[in-house]
Amino acid sequence: MATTRQKLNRHFWAGWILVVALSGVLAGLHGLFNEAGWWFLALVVVAIVGVFVAMYRTRCVMCGAPLRRMGLWWHPGAEANWSPPCPSCKKHIDRIEPFKR
């Protein structure tokens, strides 16, 4: 049982911690392998883009549709005082996920 807001907050923290960690790896490796490791640097860049794509594709717990920009630009304090609706089903993000059999 969860709400879309809890999911957005979870994706926010996991996503940004990963981006910061990967940027650190990127900066460290750039210093170490200035010429040889370009393919690995490219891999890290792809991983960072992947994290953003995963945030963009955060799904609404009510209808399962990706929240798109709302997921990408979410931060835990955003819309703290009201409950924005899901862009596809228009159900508010603080509604608890329906019981699944």
Cβ atoms 90, 65 nearer than 8 A = no
Instruction: Tell me the closest approach of the beta carbon of residue 16 to Zn ion, in angstroms.
Output: 23
Identified binder of Zn ion from the candidate list 8, 51, 62, 70, rule CB under 5 A: 62
Shortest reach from residue 78's CB to Zn ion, in Å: 17
Q: Which of 60, 70, 72, 93 binds Zn ion (CB under 5 A)?
A: 60
Closer to Zn ion by Cβ: residue 37 or 85:
85
Q: Is 61 in the site for Zn ion (CB under 5 A)?
A: no
> Locate tokens 């170490």: which residue?
32
Report DSSP letters for 25-64, one per residue. Answer: HHHHHHHH-TTTTHHHHHHHHHHHHHHHHHHHTPBPTTT-
Question: Residue from 42, 45, 63, 78 that binds Zn ion (CB under 5 A)?
Answer: 63
Question: In the complex, what is the shortest distance from the CB of residue 18 to Zn ion, in angstroms, rounded to a whole number?
Answer: 25
Q: Contact, 4 vs 93, CB < 8 A?
A: yes
> Where does this chain bind Zn ion (CB under 5 A)?
60, 62-63, 86, 88-89
